Amino acid sequence: MSIDATHDRTVLPAAPTRELIHPLWVRITHWINVLAMTVMIGSGWEIYNASPLFPFVFPEAITLGGWLAGALLWHFAAMWVLAVNGFFYLALGIASGRFQRKLVPIRAAEVLSDAGKAITGKLSHADLSVYNAVQRLLYLGVILAGIVIVLSGISIWKPVQLQELTAIFGGYDAARYVHFLAMAAIVGFLVLHVVMTLLVPSSLRAMIIGR
Ligand code: HEM
């Protein structure tokens, strides 16, 4: 222990820090989002199967709802959870400065360099409180895909009442493609995200207990 003469106070030796990486609101909204996304994707695949946009359907075993009407009920129920939870995550992320602090800037050179390091196993995961450039790009990308999937979804849901919104996506038919592509982007992200999480299990602990 030493005395800080300038400020006349006792300075304790540095205690081992167990810094808070993800505040409670991030963890709660993240796991609610996982639940809502799972229901939305499973039921969305069943709805898609009733009128496919492409020459394939999703296997029944990985869809939710059993039939079109059942899937629509699941989809509309989870939609409110997804939208309200997403709204809180976005509002708190912006108001707390978390997004500005952790998700930007994203520079192409850094993304390429960090992606190269990740592929060759040289990317450090020692400091979980700082996202590397690839993570920043993926997290910001999936947040944007989340916004697009909700907006294109409500434009397909109420194409007459919300025709201005539907027009932004190029009309009802185009909005269906946008909605599908946003889903594909989110599922692609999810596969990579879960693999990365399993490779760095301490990051999963941090998303559960915060530290
Ligand atoms: C079982 C599924 C999932 C698991 C196990 C999981 C796990 C995690 C973990 C461990 C982190 C922290 C990463 C780190 O600190 O390096 C994280 C962050 C994040 N995850 Fe997930 N996740 C899942 C699903 C999702 C889904 C479905 C989405 C969105 C569609 C998502 C979006 C995000 C975002 C945006 C962050 C950054 C949050 C922030 O810092 O504000 N995750 N996830």
150 lines ligand 1 (CB under 6 A): no
Structural domain boundaries enclosing 40: 24-78
Using a 10 angstrom Cβ sphere, with 0-12 exposed, 13-18 middle and 19 or more buried, the burial of residue 143 is middle
DSSP percent split of the chain into helix, strand, coil, nearest 5: 70, 5, 30
Residues 8, 53 within the same domain: no
Q: 44: which residues sit within 8 A by CB, 6+ positions away?
A: 71, 75, 183
Helix (H, G, I), strand (E, B) or coil at 191: helix
Residue 7 lies in a domain: yes
Residue 88 lies in a domain: no
Check whether residue 15 and residue 35 sit in a common domain: no
Q: How far is the CA of 186 from the centre of ligand 1 (A)?
A: 11
Tell me: do 144 and 74 sit in the same domain. no
Atom of ligand 1 nearest to the CA of 146: 30
Asked if the structure places residue 86 within a domain, the reply is no
The protein residue whose alpha carbon is closest to atom 13 in ligand 1 is: 203
Q: Is the shortest distance between the CB of 103 and ligand 1 below 6 Å? A: no
Is 194's C-beta closer than 6 angstroms to any atom of ligand 1?
yes
In terms of domains, do 72 and 117 share one? no
CA distance 165 to 175: 10
| Same domain flag for 205 and 119 | yes
Would strands 9-11 and 2-4 be described as parallel, antiparallel, or unpaired? antiparallel
Is the distance from the beta carbon of residue 64 to the nearest atom of ligand 1 less than 6 Å? no
The CA 159 to ligand 1 mean position distance, Å, reads 32
Residue 182: the pLDDT is 98
75 C-alpha to ligand 1 centroid (Å): 21
Assess contact for 138 and 192: CB atoms under 8 A. yes
Please check whether residues 15 and 55 belong to one and the same domain. no
* 123 CA → ligand 1 middle, Å: 19
Question: In angstroms, rounded to a whole number, what is the distance separating the alpha carbons of residues 2 and 152?
Answer: 61
Among residues 32, 23, 34, 22, the alpha carbon closest in space to that of 142 is found at 34
Alpha-carbon dihedral 100, 136, 123, 182, rounded to 10 degrees: 170
pLDDT on residue 173:
98
Q: Which residue's CA lies nearest to atom 23 of ligand 1?
A: 34
This prediction has a pTM of 0.90
DSSP label at 4?
A: E
The answer to the question of residue 91 being in a domain is: no
Distance 173 CA to ligand 1 centre (A): 31
The residue assigned the tokens 């993304």 is 111
Tokens representing residue 130 in the block: 């700082």
Structure tokens at 103: 């998700």
Which pLDDT score is estimated for 12? Answer: 43
Q: Are residues 8 and 58 in the same domain?
A: no
Distance CA 44, CA 60 (A): 12
Residue 84 in domain = no
pLDDT at 18: 74
Same domain, 50 and 104: no
Cα separation, 7 vs 114, in Å, equals 43
How many structural domains is the chain composed of? 2
Instruction: Walk along the chain (211 residues) and give the pLDDT tens digit of each residue.
Output: 444 444 444 434 444 347 899 999 999 999 999 999 999 999 999 999 999 999 999 999 999 999 999 999 999 999 999 999 999 999 999 999 999 999 999 999 999 999 999 999 899 888 999 999 999 999 999 999 999 999 999 999 999 999 999 999 999 999 999 999 999 999 999 999 999 999 999 999 999 999 9
User: What is the SS3 assignment for 3?
Assistant: strand
Beta strands, E only, the chain: 2-4, 9-11
Q: Does 29 share its domain with 130?
A: no
